Structure 1
């Protein structure tokens, strides 16, 4: 039989190496402390503040509201307060400018804070022909940047209204948290024709029990103490990619660590301004 020419062999080789898509399977990943070390919104806010896009008082006020929300639980007034603070933080700001600067902040800060273990888990799903989505309370524009940079399918996040290229300060829908996150996953599964029994979900937080309970393969990643206990009780997988000192902090609310870091950032910015003023007087 005559041999195949090099040109005719290439399509056959490409076909042999192509992983068939799994149209009814997907994986859903929370972001903060699951994919990214710490709170992604803090890293972005810190980068914007360093560019003097927000004032120090804006940053302090935002961080304080987030601490109250994260440590106060999911009571309606806490969620409403978190929504209002997040919207006040971006109201009147240019969508294009924030997205452009956030791309830079990803390269400067976020890229080095991606958990390599979680990234590998996401890649396993992609290699199996499955779609991979981020599902997070982080603003959707920022979540999409992270998803795109990691080569994922897409992202679902908290949506802020835009008008004439500016954020209006109003929310579209509700904060993507708890039950709202689970509802978003159900809606996505319906649109995309996914079988949730064939899907996986990954999170670090007890607040994501609704999303984790939807899928056939729930996985606790870097879990807080409450989720670790619940995962053990239900027989769910547990993956911990923290090491040493970080792993020992399982029971410490992330918001408290974020708040401390935020205080340091705000203090550093204030010190920098005082030094500039002092140099101007000499």
Structure 2
């Protein structure tokens, strides 16, 4: 099994699905508008590589607490059609298609909740995904997470578990990301690519000789 591993937000898409999802929920009366400034502050910390992902998830999952998984899944499908489909990088589609034609397994690993990453990964034609796991009870979201968060080194830990479960290895693997938070993941793959890298990641990419890509819509 030859792997092509992709971060999702700002790598395959020209925008962050978590932020866009909260905006979407506000637009449709599912979340309070006064959540947006605080979410923007948390995302600024993420881009600096300083975010406690537990804080972000605890805050942004509040509007989903007590809502049914089934109902939320219907909203997510609308969200993908309205907000995600238009912002997928054409080069991302081409790269995914090329790897698919080569017979590679496409794996999306994202520090976003599984309620978004799973459907988006399927929409993009990925074979599998790893994302932040959300706790449910009696078919409803509790507003809490469980298991190792797919964030920073947590992505590598979850990937290692996935490799064990699938009797796979990282030999010949390719990996893509835009964020300084994904340096551990990019160091783990055999060939790393940065996509529209943030300044911190761009500096690391130069040090390691990673290929830097510029994808535009």
User: Which TM-score bucket, shorter chain as reference?
Assistant: over 0.9
Name 1:25's counterpart in structure 2: 2
1:43 matched residue in structure 2: 20
Deviation (angstroms), 1:208: 0.4
Tell me, in whole angstroms, the C-alpha distance in 2 between the residues paired with 1:145 and 1:138.
Answer: 12
Deviation at 1:223, TM superposition (A): 0.7
The secondary structure found in structure 1 opposite 2:14 is: coil
Q: In the alignment, is residue 132 of structure 1 matched against residue 101 of structure 2?
A: no
* Structure ranking higher in strand proportion: 2
Q: 1:113 to 1:71 in 2, by over 3 A?
A: closer
Q: Which residue of 1 aligns with 2:201?
A: 227
- TM-score norm. by structure 1 comes to 0.72
Of 158-167 and 52-61, deviating more is 52-61
1:204 aligns with 2:181: no
Alignment partners' CA distance in 2, 1:232 and 1:73: 18
Give SS of 2:125's match: coil
- Residue pair 1:69, 1:82 contacting (<8 A) in 2 also: no
> 2:62 is matched with which residue?
88
Offset, 1:89? 3.6
Are residues 30 and 143 of structure 1, via their aligned partners in 2, closer, same or farther at CA, if it must alter by over 3 Å? same
- Choose between structure 1 and 2: higher helix proportion: 1
Deviations along 1:161-216, whole A, 9 cap, x unmatched?
Answer: 01111111221124321000111111112212222021111000111011111111
Give the TM-score normalised by structure 2: 0.92
Give unmatched runs, 5+ long, in structure 1: 1-23, 244-282
Relative to 1, partners in 2 of residues 1:239 and 1:169: Cα closer, same or farther, differing over 3 Å? same
1:212–1:110 Cα change, 3 Å:
same
1:105-132 Cα offsets, whole Å, 9 max, x none, are: 1111110100111221111111111110
Cα separation, 2, equivalents of 1:69 and 1:88: 19
Q: 1:184 matched to which residue of 2? A: 158
* Aligned-pair CA distance for 1:220: 0.8
What is aligned with 2:88? 114
- C-alpha contact (below 8 Å) 1:94/1:167 kept by paired residues: yes
Give the Cα separation in 2 of the matches to 1:183 and 1:64: 28
Deviations 1:59-110 (A, max 9, x none): 444x1452364156346xx333223213324221221111111101111111
Q: Which has the larger radius of gyration?
A: 1
Give the one of 16, 21, 46 matched to 1:70.
46
The answer on whether the counterparts of 2:49 and 2:180 sit within 8 Å (CA) in structure 1 is no
Query: Structure 2 CA distance, aligned partners of 1:225 and 1:242?
Result: 17
Cα 1:159/1:174, change in 2 over 3 Å: same
SS at match of 1:55: coil
